[in-house]
Amino acid sequence: MSRWRLTRYHRFMQFPNLPLVVLDTETTGLVPRVNKIIEFACVRLRNGAVEEEYEQLISVEVAIPPQVEVLTRIKNADLEGKPIFDDVRDEIVRRIGEDTIIVGQNIPYDMAMLKAEGIDLSDRPWIDTSMLASLVFPNLESYSLGYVSTVLRLNHAPVHRALGDVHATMELLGSCWERLLELPDDMRKQAQNLMQKAPEGYGRFFDALPASTNKKAPVWLTVTKRDAGEAKADIFGIALTKPEGAVTLIEEPPAPGVLEEIITTAAADSTTVHWIAVKNLEATCKRLILPDGVRVLSPPFLLPDPDSQDALLAQESLTADEATLALKLLWYSPSMQSDFPLHGDEISVWNGKIACTEESPAYIRQFENLPSVILLDHRQLLSFVADPAHTAHGALSEDAHIIIDDASMLEDTATKAYGWQCAVPYLRAAAEGNEALTKLADITALWAERTRNGQDIRYLAVSDLRNPDVQGMCAILEEALANTALPKLALRQLSHLLQILQPENLHDRIAYIEMRYNGELHIQSVPERIGSFLQQHLYGTYPTSLLIPPGSAQSLAEILPVGTATTLYSDIVADIPFALSYPEDCQLESLLQNPSEGKSILLLGSKRSIDGAYIQHAEEMEQRGITLICQGLCGGAGRMRANFIASENTTLWLLTPWAYEGVSLPEGEADRLIIFSLPFDHPSHAVLSRRAEHYQNAFEQYSMARLLHRLFRLLRTFSTQCSKGASVQIMDDRLRTKGYGKYILSFLSQFVVEHTTENAKEVPGQPSLFS
């Protein structure tokens, strides 16, 4: 092993004594054969030292899309006079080398793009540095190259270009290698033995690790749990009384700490067993400090099944994602998904092969010796109250008190809980190494593609299910379901698919095939109306309290069927930690040109608006030292969140309201929330558009109700993240120009309060839109 240093780099690094080529491409888009390579760069290493580096701009016949020009800083003019790919193909092949291991950040993508241009590297050994980084840097918020470069202080010059990405990737590889050198010898041998089952690149990389004299596991081999606890407003009026004969509707203000106070109040009551269901259990547990005597029941998909882990480790061969996941399972010994750094397509392996099912002993053990307060998620609760055979069904007595937080989301979570779904990517992950299951996955994907016929959403009709092809599929599915040797998670997917394919099950259900924006194919069936399910399995059996937005009691028709008895509790008052206003004549353009100091979250109504803002302002903002983060252009949710938290400059994060609902940020991280567009549901939503047909006036009775609920959730989300003196501005002109604007303003007016508890107490109840 040798050390190397190039004068442009700021520190010495170590590399394995292997022939390596670190490469990167810049392209006009993400789809091989459709989009083209406009720049290629690589650095070749041998015996731990840099041998040569190479970069080349490449002319293409199509224009570079504007957003790609900004992302890469490669302009159409830059490609004038440059060679086309055919002219440099042989040179690129020569630069890559004949015996090198291919290395890159998310390298399968670059290899696919090169293959589309006539350079097929699929038989060559390769290593993905993002997966290596997730293995040895378990506490990073993101494994994107930009974020990792910032946090680890990697050389990323020239910024935005392929060679800059290569330099950063090379240093990331060196950083990963240096961490692996810290392993004690038993862990080194364990990793080497496992990686012999992996693709060649990983096997050779780990085999190159020298014997170690270290005796202890390295300090980095620990996932640090973030400190829990959110800021609390002064909260008054919380009292929990088990309902009798009616569903209690508890109005919840958009202030931090309300749920935590409810949990604390429940824990102090030993006379009743309180089952508290939340929308996002993981985020809730990270955010709150839970008192003693509270049991958190993790859903099965967040728990590893020990038998399934053993089966994965016993496989004779492993894919790259299976190998890195298997090594993480050995090193981190997770008791749940959040205990280790699951990354990339490892999630498909987890969902296809590792996670528990509702029948797994590891999941069922959670229900033993339950205390008086149980915290769980919506879907889990709804699933087992409807299933008498479920172990937890017996643990939930009719004397229990069920409290559902964020009940405005109950329609969505119940839709998932009572839905059937077959996700083709998860089925394929489960099928790795199993010929019969692979055949089934292929048949399923082929049928779905042929049936949807290019449509993103294709509703299934009886005629689709009464043909010989589907009948043949059902026969194969029934045979597969009898094979208990198949992975449990695969059997669950197949069971759901068989239910979807039965023509008689189309009654009162919405069944459809969906091609998602990320290219994933899903086959789903959900109840057409959700309220009847909730009445049958929940309200009609167990004393239930729902936490709802203030003033929304008359707008819950989809989850409270006609005739459901209710009582209203509206005594909770709390300081709201932000100032709410409705500025007029404020344009996005002027705000982007003159952004306020601090960190702002801007919610725009469409991806097109976000793309336009990025194209127009990204380069100029970077020159001014302003951080601009845009949904769809700056990585996934985890990467954007990590960059927002890490930024120390004036920062603007542009995303849609629907994306922001799922964002979790530390307390005090955001200074302002600016809503540019009222977040109505998309009118062609696969499920909601069908449910809207049941209303006489779908806009007022359904769409408007969901809008008000979403506005409340946005405010409540921001309340847990905002700094002292934060503000919320809603800038949609429809508040003033449309007739329904006054109803929205009436709903929002109850959140315009002084920041003192006394004043908050004096605020009267606001009129409901539907009263």
For 571-581, how does the pLDDT look when each residue is reduced to its tens digit (9 = 90+)? 999 999 999 99
- 389 and 432 in a single domain? The answer is no
Q: What is the structure's pLDDT at 394?
A: 80
Closest CA to 641 of 657, 660, 656: 660
| CATH number for the domain that contains residue 445 | 1.10.275.40
| CATH number for the domain that contains residue 734 | 3.40.50.300
- 665 and 629 in a single domain? The answer is yes
176 within a domain of the structure (yes/no):
yes
For the record, the structure tokens of 207 come out as 């085999």
- 48 and 174 in a single domain? The answer is yes
For 671, the domain range is: 578-752
**DSSP 8-state symbol, 338:** G
Q: What is the structure's pLDDT at 504?
A: 97
For the record, the structure tokens of 677 come out as 């567009």
Burial class (CB within 10 angstroms; exposed 0-12, middle 13-18, buried 19+) of 511: buried
345 within a domain of the structure (yes/no):
no
Please tell me the distance from the alpha carbon of residue 607 to that of residue 284, in angstroms, as a whole number: 28
Q: What is the structure's pLDDT at 225?
A: 74
The secondary structure of 522-555 as a DSSP string is: EEEEEES-SHHHHIIIIITTS-EEEEE-TT-TTS
Instruction: Say which amino acid occupies 6.
Output: L
694 within a domain of the structure (yes/no):
yes
25 within a domain of the structure (yes/no):
yes
**DSSP 8-state symbol, 559:** T
Closest CA to 462 of 495, 424, 496, 500: 500
For the record, the structure tokens of 185 come out as 């010898």
- Beta-bridge mates of residue 4: 13
390 within a domain of the structure (yes/no):
yes
Closest CA to 243 of 572, 571, 573, 569: 569
Mark which of 137, 165, 180 sits at the end of a domain: 180
Phi, psi of 525, rounded to the nearest 5 degrees = -145, 130
Please tell me the distance from the alpha carbon of residue 372 to that of residue 270, in angstroms, as a whole number: 6
Please tell me the distance from the alpha carbon of residue 291 to that of residue 232, in angstroms, as a whole number: 15
Please tell me the distance from the alpha carbon of residue 548 to that of residue 405, in angstroms, as a whole number: 8
- 410 and 428 in a single domain? The answer is no
Q: Are 183 and 191 in contact (CB under 8 A)?
A: yes
Please tell me the distance from the alpha carbon of residue 763 to that of residue 604, in angstroms, as a whole number: 31
Please tell me the distance from the alpha carbon of residue 650 to that of residue 85, in angstroms, as a whole number: 41
- 413 and 434 in a single domain? The answer is no
Pairing of strands 20-27, 13-14: unpaired
Dmax over Cα atoms in the chain, in whole Å?
81
Q: What is the structure's pLDDT at 389?
A: 82
Token pair 């699929």 in the structure block, residue: 122
Token pair 């908050």 in the structure block, residue: 760
- 650 and 720 in a single domain? The answer is yes
365 within a domain of the structure (yes/no):
yes
When divided into structural domains, the chain yields a total of: 4
Please tell me the distance from the alpha carbon of residue 495 to that of residue 505, in angstroms, as a whole number: 13
585 within a domain of the structure (yes/no):
yes
- 365 and 440 in a single domain? The answer is no
Please tell me the distance from the alpha carbon of residue 719 to that of residue 673, in angstroms, as a whole number: 10
- 253 and 395 in a single domain? The answer is yes
664 within a domain of the structure (yes/no):
yes
Local mean pLDDT, 10-residue blocks, the chain (771 residues): 43 91 97 96 95 97 96 97 98 98 98 98 98 98 94 92 97 98 98 98 98 96 73 82 95 94 94 95 91 95 96 97 99 96 96 94 93 96 88 80 97 96 94 91 96 97 95 95 90 96 97 92 96 94 97 96 95 95 92 97 97 97 97 93 96 98 95 98 94 95 97 97 97 96 97 54 38 38
- 473 and 558 in a single domain? The answer is no
Cα first-last separation, the chain: 76
Token pair 């009940």 in the structure block, residue: 407
Please tell me the distance from the alpha carbon of residue 523 to that of residue 515, in angstroms, as a whole number: 9
Please tell me the distance from the alpha carbon of residue 744 to that of residue 504, in angstroms, as a whole number: 42
Collapsing DSSP states into helix, strand and coil, what is residue 59?
strand
**DSSP 8-state symbol, 355:** B
**DSSP 8-state symbol, 662:** T
Side-chain half-sphere CA neighbours of 253 within 13 A: 33
Please tell me the distance from the alpha carbon of residue 209 to that of residue 188, in angstroms, as a whole number: 7
For the record, the structure tokens of 348 come out as 């498909």
- 382 and 462 in a single domain? The answer is no
| CATH number for the domain that contains residue 54 | 3.30.420.10
Mark which of 180, 196, 224 sits at the end of a domain: 180
Mark which of 164, 180, 196 sits at the end of a domain: 180
- Beta-bridge mates of residue 525: 420, 511
**DSSP 8-state symbol, 302:** G
pTM of the complete model = 0.91
Tally Cβ neighbours within 10 Å of residue 239. Answer: 10
- 623 and 542 in a single domain? The answer is no
Q: Are 44 and 97 in contact (CB under 8 A)?
A: yes
- 20 and 149 in a single domain? The answer is yes
Q: What is the structure's pLDDT at 700?
A: 94
Please tell me the distance from the alpha carbon of residue 135 to that of residue 496, in angstroms, as a whole number: 34
- Beta-bridge mates of residue 396: none
